[in-house]
Amino acid sequence: MSLVKINSAPMTCDHWIAGEHRGPASGQYRDVVSPYTGAAIGKVALGGKADADAVVSAAQNAFPAWRATPIKERAQLLFRFRDLVLANLEELSHVAASESGKTFGEARAEVLKGVEVTEFALALQNLDSGGIMDVSRGVSCELRREPLGVVAGIVPFNFPAMVPMWMYPIALALGNCFVLKPSEKVPLTSQIMARLSKEAGFPPGVFSLLNGTKEAVEALIDHPSIKAVGFVGSSPVALDVYTRATALGKRALCLGGAKNHLIVVPDADEALTVRGVVDSFTGCAGQRCMAASVMIAVGDVDHLIEKIRKTAAELPIGAGMGAIIDKGALDRIRHHVDAAEKDGAKVIVDGRESKAPAGREQGFWFGPTIIDHAKPSMACAREEIFGPVLAIVRVKNLAEALALESANPFGNATSVFTTNGAVARHVADNATSGMIGINIGVPVPREPFSFGGTKTSKFGHSDITGESSLDFWSNLKKVTTKWSLQSDASWLS
Ligand code: NAD
């Protein structure tokens, strides 16, 4: 297992405007801190309206030529970009891990998932040919997919490479210019992506970075030349961004938080279930929107709970499981576990006492935690904790399990562990989330299947990847043409 290298030379994360770095108009920066060490590994520009104006104006200048570039040429640049990402996989993975706290293997996997979306995007040259049909004598209707213009993506801290890559390869392939607002907690990976976009040959202004926090986000949404806003982050902010953008008549697709349920029934395969449940709630230290948060134990599954407890308790933090993003998140997670205990639940694996890995004592660490006998009314079973914490709620039957699942206001993922096909089918048919797993703890669809949840896990229509994202990042123009030597032909004939 490769250990995460923390870069010793701090990186300055400026905006990326017209293919060049540019400092913030205000001159203000904030530190970027590694969750592994608690030490600054860089500083990030704090952008405002003046910076948003500059970045969007450069993108707007680039748009006419980029729009006129044939999709096959745009795809060639994406091909080169993909190759450069793979050639720099080691560096990208170390940087993404050191700023987000995940393990090297997890960071590598997220970059590769971003590559998969890029491959989908560059294949659009062969797939997305629109359509044309003779609808009458001498009259044809043609469907053309056109770019929107300058579009924006606002992204969270937990996937510094992958979540941005859910958006920009597809948006760029379709002929838009893209402005990315990385999370201010993890802006380093995007700096490398900007450098690689230049090396790949993307014209200045086609791919840009605006760094900063809420002020930068609002300036970007409000800019009249921003035509669409893709957002991924927590549900309250997702709803704010969705409301703000759509009130201005813009299209918005805003993915929010999650509270994912794993339904475990007595006939579940032991090895598959134990691995699936533990990996799901501890992977990325529970900081992923597809992580298991509640296990619904249906009937007597005590033998599985005991194995899950043992496996989670033995997980080495630092190597097997990464760190928590910051002190605020650490306090929130601890608060949830304390409150569950106070409310009468039983903490059977306690991450509050976990020791930091040697030499990394100043980092932000929380070990795997399992809260058994949680009640559906408890905060640990209702609210997004976003840490390596699994609440186990016990129910008598599948109907109760599904009632609990559907009462959950979030709708990202729901999984069932069973060896009974009818049970699996019943859960897939009746669970309310957008992504369902059968014997899979993290049911992320592979491309070309799209990614997106329901309820408060997503505001807006279509999904963020896959075929369904094409309608979000483009307009469909319908061209009806008449060329006929038959003078009495009408468009209705
Ligand atoms: P966050 O909502 O705090 O931040 C997301 C982005 O919004 C960042 O770029 C941030 O700078 C910006 N932002 C923060 N507050 C803002 C405000 N008041 N107004 C405007 N912009 C604001 O999320 P986070 O803590 O970075 O990420 C974790 C959250 O993201 C979790 O809730 C997780 O479930 C969610 N997430 C969801 C998905 C999904 O696909 N549904 C994927 C990854 C993460």
Rounded to whole angstroms, the Cα distance separating 184 from 174 reads: 27
Residue whose entry in the numeric block shows the structure tokens 């009130």: 247
User: Residue 44 pairs with which residues in a beta bridge?
Assistant: 13, 30
Strands 435-438 and 139-147: unpaired
User: Among 13, 166, 183, 260, which residue has the most ligand 1 atoms within 8 Å of its CB, making it the best to mutate?
Assistant: 183
The SS3 assignment for 73 reads: helix
pLDDT of 6 above 80: no
pLDDT of 331 above 60: yes
Is residue 117 in contact with ligand 1, taking CB distance under 6 Å?
A: no
Rounded to whole angstroms, the Cα distance separating 171 from 207 reads: 10
Atom 33 of ligand 1: nearest residue by CA position: 257
Rounded to whole angstroms, the Cα distance separating 179 from 194 reads: 11
Which whole number is the average pLDDT over 29-52?
97
Give me the percent of the chain exceeding a pLDDT of 90: 92
Weakest mean pLDDT among 2-6, 81-85, 398-402, 432-436: 2-6
SS3 of 15-28: the string is: EEECCEEECCCCCC
Could you report the per-residue pLDDT of 460-470, keeping only the tens digit for each?
A: 999 999 999 99
Measuring CA to CA, which residue among 132, 69, 127, 246 is closest to residue 477? 132
> For all residues of the chain together, what is the average pLDDT?
96
Alpha helices in 35-147 (DSSP H): 49-68, 71-87, 89-100, 104-122, 124-127
Residue ranges of the domains in the chain? 11-256+457-477, 260-438
Measuring CA to CA, which residue among 44, 61, 99 is closest to residue 216? 44
Which whole number is the average pLDDT over 102-116?
97
226, 63 Cβ separation under 8 angstroms: no
User: Residue 246 pairs with which residues in a beta bridge?
Assistant: none
How far is ligand 1, taken at its centre, from the CA of residue 201, in Å?
Answer: 30
Rounded to whole angstroms, the Cα distance separating 489 from 493 reads: 6
Amino acid at 262: L
Rounded to whole angstroms, the Cα distance separating 443 from 437 reads: 5
**Given the residues 177, 254, 284, 289, the one annotated as active site:** 289
| Sequence-ordered strand ranges (E) for 233-313 | 251-255, 260-264, 292-298
What CATH number should be reported for the domain whose range is 260-438?
3.40.309.10
The architecture CATH gives domain 11-256+457-477: 3-Layer(aba) Sandwich (3.40)
Weakest mean pLDDT among 128-132, 167-171, 378-382: 128-132
Q: What is the pTM of this model?
A: 0.96
Q: Which two tokens stand for residue 359?
A: 């030499």
pLDDT confidence of 138, banded at 50, 70, 90? confident
Which whole number is the average pLDDT over 272-276?
98
Could you report the per-residue pLDDT of 224-269, keeping only the tens digit for each?
A: 999 999 999 999 999 999 999 999 999 999 999 999 999 999 999 9
Is residue 386 in contact with ligand 1, taking CB distance under 6 Å?
A: yes
pLDDT confidence of 485, banded at 50, 70, 90? confident
Q: What is the pLDDT of residue 491?
A: 63
Could you report the per-residue pLDDT of 182-236, keeping only the tens digit for each?
A: 999 999 999 999 999 999 999 999 999 999 999 999 999 999 999 999 999 999 9
Q: Which two tokens stand for residue 340?
A: 């569950």
Which whole number is the average pLDDT over 416-435?
98
Q: What is the pLDDT of residue 9?
A: 78
Q: What is the pLDDT of residue 8?
A: 67
The SS3 assignment for 216 reads: helix
Could you report the per-residue pLDDT of 74-98, keeping only the tens digit for each?
A: 999 999 999 999 999 999 999 999 9
Is residue 412 in contact with ligand 1, taking CB distance under 6 Å?
A: yes
How many CB atoms sit inside 10 A of residue 189's CB?
30
Instruction: Provide the Cα torsion 6, 164, 412, 459; round to 10°.
Output: 140
Rounded to whole angstroms, the Cα distance separating 458 from 410 reads: 9
Which whole number is the average pLDDT over 267-282?
98
pLDDT of 131 above 90: no
99, 190 Cβ separation under 8 angstroms: no
Is residue 217 in contact with ligand 1, taking CB distance under 6 Å?
A: yes
Q: What is the pLDDT of residue 445?
A: 96
Could you report the per-residue pLDDT of 278-309, keeping only the tens digit for each?
A: 999 999 999 999 999 999 999 999 999 999 99
Which whole number is the average pLDDT over 409-419?
98
Our answer to whether residue 289 is catalytic in this structure is yes
How many CB atoms sit inside 10 A of residue 355's CB?
10
How far is ligand 1, taken at its centre, from the CA of residue 436, in Å?
Answer: 23
pLDDT confidence of 1, banded at 50, 70, 90? very low
Evaluated on CA atoms 100, 106, 107, 112, the torsion sign reads negative
